């Protein structure tokens, strides 16, 4: 059977471990040639070692697929340009970009240092910009393509101790929405991803320490949802966010209430009186159920 990505070229950032590694291996199995990007740093963004990306490439090639390793830093403009160039030099084009690279420096907001803030925002938000921009320009001039930008429920709903990470991931959501609108005329489809999986980024979260991971929470069970997103199967869904985790695949949307609209000057007291129209009923309970 033909693969869903036969003849396609995909760039995946942060693909030396975890989710990115699972995407790379599945994309290659489905016929794509893959640029496996990974700086090879620690979870907090320190250090670097290209061997992580090369190990994934070796596994893909051993299984009969095509891939090339890249160790450029996603958080620099030059790094993003180099990653695109690796695709063009080795495979002649690019059809798919998955911005997955990320780090964590979790602390409560009051304990966050400027360095913690800047580094996390630089890797996640600026890193998405640095990688997406050159690929966007290429796709704009070569008939289009598909992109998946990785957000998070920490940015969409909020999560204790992740103000820096949540801010960056919420920014990626806004970036995705604008890019999806602008990409329509160029046949560039952009979707947002909020993944949930057991990886080195999440293995020490409360409730997970010392426990074996739920098999459904492994990266291999997130990858099929992302494969769907970059394939032609999702051609009509640009601008949407999918949550993909052990709970399956679901759309996450921004919603608003009917609201209080008096059509005349009003007072703060009147807003309070119409609170049932302004706010979603049981909003706190609904948020808890979705995260």
Instruction: List, by residue number, the catalytic residues.
Output: 165
> Which of 130, 153, 170, 160 lies closest to 11, judged by CA?
130
Instruction: Dump strand ranges (E) for 102-225.
Output: 145-150, 188-195
- DSSP element (H, E) containing 70: strand 66-70
Write the DSSP symbol of residue 221.
Answer: G
Residue 240: Cβ within 10 Å count: 18
Pairing of strands 188-195, 9-12: unpaired
- Inter-residue long-range contacts of 211-214, CB under 8 Å, 24+ positions, other chains counted: 214/246
Percent of the chain that is helix, strand, coil (3-state, to 5): 45, 15, 40
């Amino acid at each position: 059977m033909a693969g869903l990505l036969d003849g396609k070229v995909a760039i995946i950032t942060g693909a030396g471990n975890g989710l990115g590694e699972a995407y790379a291996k599945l994309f290659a199995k489905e016929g794509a040639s893959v640029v496996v990007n990974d700086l090879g740093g620690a979870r907090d963004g320190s250090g670097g070692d290209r061997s992580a990306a090369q190990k994934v490439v070796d596994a893909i090639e051993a299984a009969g697929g095509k891939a090339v390793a890249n160790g450029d830093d996603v958080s620099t403009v030059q790094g993003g340009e180099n990653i695109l160039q690796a695709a063009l030099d080795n495979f002649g084009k690019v059809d798919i970009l998955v911005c997955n690279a990320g780090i964590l420096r979790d602390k409560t907001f009051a304990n966050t240092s400027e360095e913690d803030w800047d580094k996390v925002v630089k890797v996640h938000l600026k890193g998405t910009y640095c990688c997406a921009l050159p690929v966007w320009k290429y796709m704009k001039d070569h008939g289009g393509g598909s992109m998946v930008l990785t957000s998070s429920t920490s940015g969409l709903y909020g999560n204790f101790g992740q103000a820096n990470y949540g801010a960056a991931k919420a920014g990626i959501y806004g970036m995705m929405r604008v890019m999806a609108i602008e990409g329509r005329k160029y046949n560039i489809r952009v979707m947002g991803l909020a993944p949930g999986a057991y990886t080195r980024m999440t293995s020490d979260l409360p409730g997970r320490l010392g426990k074996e991971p739920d098999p459904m929470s492994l990266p291999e069970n997130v990858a099929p949802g992302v494969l769907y997103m970059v394939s032609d199967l999702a051609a009509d869904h640009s601008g949407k966010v999918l949550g993909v985790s052990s709970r399956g695949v679901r759309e996450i949307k921004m919603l608003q209430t009917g609201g209080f609209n008096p059509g005349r000057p009003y007072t703060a007291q009147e807003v309070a009186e119409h609170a049932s129209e302004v706010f979603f009923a049981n909003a706190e309970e609904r948020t808890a159920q979705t995260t």
